[in-house]
A and B are shown apart, each in its own frame.
Chain A
Amino acid sequence: MNSISTMITTTTSTTKAATMSESKISARNVQVFYGEKHALRDVNIEIRPRSVTAFIGPSGCGKSTFLRCLNRMNDTIASCRVEGSIGIDGENIYDPKVDPVQLRAKVGMVFQKPNPFPKSIYENVAYGPRIHGLARKKSDLDDIVASALQKAGLWNEVKDRLQESGTGLSGGQQQRLCIARAVAVSPEIILMDEPCSALDPIATAKVEELIHELRSNYTIVIVTHSMQQAARVSQRTAMFHLGLLVEENDTDKMFTNPDDQRTQDYIMGRFG
């Protein structure tokens, strides 16, 4: 508990700066249905640029569902229907004019279980830049791959084995490879759905450190089940419950003096 409170005090100063700028993502009246099931009700949220926003809440409350709305990954689920609007940089991403493929290049995603492609480490990272035509020459691609791996803090561990299979790495390394893969297409927003739930504490610490570093360049939204993790890495926290966004607040406020009783109960471990 001690470490959390120190972490909270260190993050407070940066939070104030973030409050000044206008929001990167703004969701208005978002409703999500899976067939008949109403999974998200009337979600409104503003997410600030160059900051980390954590989504918390009990299992099945719709955190992943909302996260997947932000890059239209829900389009791949046939039964899923989204209503309302989600603006990114002021443009509604559910507008028919928007190409979800383009959108996903701008809004990258890291999943709960590390899912490297069964290709070499190099090819894993080069995959995104290739399909988006980001590199003209082989040397450009090499540079992109190297800098993405550096940003993901994996470069030193893999620089001598870029041609080995990505599936042969440890779980923590695989997850950082997936982050590098997302970073390589130069997104503006990175969505992470429980990125550390399959990792041991040391690998988790590395990924959290990485999130800290990425914050200066990217807008990060992370779903987590660990209050400590939310407290450690995020500036803003949003609490979901039964498909509702019950509270959204500064992280330090949220974990010390939440406005909503349900948040209080959840943080104190009374349910979920």
Chain B
Amino acid sequence: MSVGILIPVLLVLAALGFVLGKRQALALSDSQKTKLHSLPGYYGQTVALFTAVPALFLLGAWLILQPMAIESRIGGMIPDSVIPEGGARSLVMSDVRRIAGGLDAVLALGGMGEDELVRIGENLSTVRSRLAEVGVALVGDVPPVVFEAARAYRQDVKTGNMAMSVVVLVLAVALGLWAYRRIQPDMRARNVTESFVKSLLIAASMVAVLTTLGIVGSLVFETISFFKIYPASEFFFSTVWNPQFRGGSELGILPLLWGTLYVSLIALLVAVPIGLMIAIYLAEYASKTVRSLAKPAIEMLAGIPTIVYGLFALITVGPFLRDWLAQPLGLGTSSSSVLTAGLVMGIMIIPFVSSLSDDIINAVPQALRDGSYGLGATQSETIKQVVLPAALPGIVGAVLLAASRAIGETMIVVLGAGAAAKLDLNPFEAMTTVTVKIVSQLTGDTEFASPETLVAFALGLTLFVFTLGLNVLALYIVRKYREQYE
């Protein structure tokens, strides 16, 4: 039975359990003339949950473990002799899987009977032509053992799936029956279902936590293997970024970090003043109608795909800055520059600053403003001396969030600032950032285990630690600010 059928069957069983459980509870309460502890539906839910949930978990676990078990068993069947020189066992295994899949297709077409497969070793050539018919082309001589392994693989998958269906269904029915038998009017069915639901919710939140841990874990793992083949001191302190295909690369993070910080700094110089002024206008001066129109319009800036910003930087802002500023001032001739990327990125993060700050300024209690007006302060005095200082921690938080957004940005940099790693102060020079180099190192042609590729993970981890730190700081500040008024 395939998974696609197994899951609906489980759900039907659960629904059946619900109906039966509910009826049983009502019947028992009638015959024993006792009041039910919980609403009848909870008894039904208890049975349904016991039927479906453990079985589904088992199914999930089986689907993960079975392929692993089969791989290792079949892998053991393949002698070292058939593994080609310089190749890997995993390559042969992928052949095995391909052939197994092909055999399935051949059988499905009806070109061959199940019994013929048993003699597969005897007429390899027919098998090969059949496989070719269903689109599985085999290159070179495939040793008979591989065919044998493929056949065993198919067999294992089949038995495994069969066993899975049986075990899962038996478990579902058994647990469902067990829960059904336990129904008594005084059974605390509501508590049972509630703790069940609670565990489900916890499991769901674990998914998010575990994913984060998994991401960090894989980054750390690859970073460690990078530092095994490349000195960490070079990586952190070398001022040269010069990856080579033939080894001997210099992989210093400093030029990239500098580019990241420079671009982000320009972006913040654009976004913070404009964003703050927007926020003050929206929160303190704008009428309700203006605010309800302007706020979504500004937030739309954050919804534009970054590639569109990148194009804007590439074809409009970049050439404009070059023709009107860089060349007349004699500062450069490149149309991609830090300034281009920074300006465009600044526009992109304006809504991060303005929207959050607007909310924060709005959260400053009206009583503080009244107190200031009551003393004869003007509106601008009130804003400058009472509202903004009170909102400042929150605004700092907003700026830090915007900064971590700027640091992680890639597309605008690729198209706006170019890809040359440089340590330079001239904002009209092309430079690049950490994120851009992560992309280019991972999409290169070099072998995965080389420092040129693995450096991407070290870059990623550094960036992650950086933005994580910023986020934690921002959250801490925002939270502290909240406490002040609650």
Contact = CB atoms under 8 A, between A and B. Distances in A.
Contacts of A101: 376-378
A249 B376 CA distance: 31
A185 B375 contact: yes
Contact of B374 (A71, A113, A131, A167): A71
A111 B373 contact: no
B386 A117 contact: yes
Given A115-B368, A118-B484, A167-B484, A109 B374 contact: yes
Given A131-B381, A131-B385, A115 B376 contact: no
B397 to A, nearest CB: 16
A182 interface: yes
Contacts of A111: 367, 370-371, 374
Interface residues of B, dominant DSSP? helix
Contacts, number: 71
User: Number of contact residues on B: which range applies?
Assistant: 20 to 34
Contacts of B390: 117-118
Interface in A72-127: 73, 76, 78, 101-106, 108-111, 113, 115-119, 127
Nearest to A72: B373
A117 B374 contact: no
Nearest to B365: A115
B386 A104 contact: no
Interface string B366-395: 011111111111100100011001100000
Contacts of B385: 127, 131
B375 A115 contact: no
Contact of A102 (B365, B373, B376, B381): B376
B481 to A, nearest CB: 10
A40 interface: no
Interface residues of A, number: 29
A110 B373 CA distance: 11
A213 B372 CA distance: 24
A127 B372 contact: yes
Interface in A162-185: 167, 178, 181-182, 185
A178 B376 contact: no
Interface string A59-78: 00000000000010100101
Interface in A33-74: 71, 73
B376 A117 contact: no
A16 interface: no
Nearest to A165: B484
Contacts of B367: 111, 113, 115
A105 B372 CA distance: 11
A168 B326 CA distance: 54
B375 A181 contact: yes
A104 B375 CA distance: 6
Given A101-B378, A127-B385, A131-B385, A117 B373 contact: no
A132 interface: yes
Contact of A104 (B365, B374, B389, B484): B374
Nearest to A191: B374
Given A115-B365, A119-B389, A178 B373 contact: no
A116 B367 CA distance: 9
Contacts of B484: 118, 167
Given A111-B367, A115-B368, A182 B389 contact: no
A209 B104 CA distance: 96
Contacts of A182: 374-375
Contacts of A181: 371, 375
B381 A178 contact: no
Contact of A73 (B287, B374, B377, B386): B374
12 contacts: A78-B287, A104-B373, A104-B374, A106-B376, A109-B374, A111-B371, A111-B374, A117-B371, A118-B368, A127-B385, A127-B386, A132-B376
Given A76-B373, A78-B287, A127-B372, 20 more contacts: A73-B373, A101-B376, A101-B377, A101-B378, A105-B376, A108-B375, A111-B367, A111-B371, A115-B365, A115-B367, A115-B370, A117-B371, A117-B386, A117-B390, A118-B389, A118-B390, A127-B386, A128-B376, A131-B385, A182-B374
Interface of B: 287, 365, 367-378, 381, 385-386, 389-390, 484
4 closest A-B pairs (Cβ-Cβ)? A105-B376, A109-B374, A104-B376, A115-B367
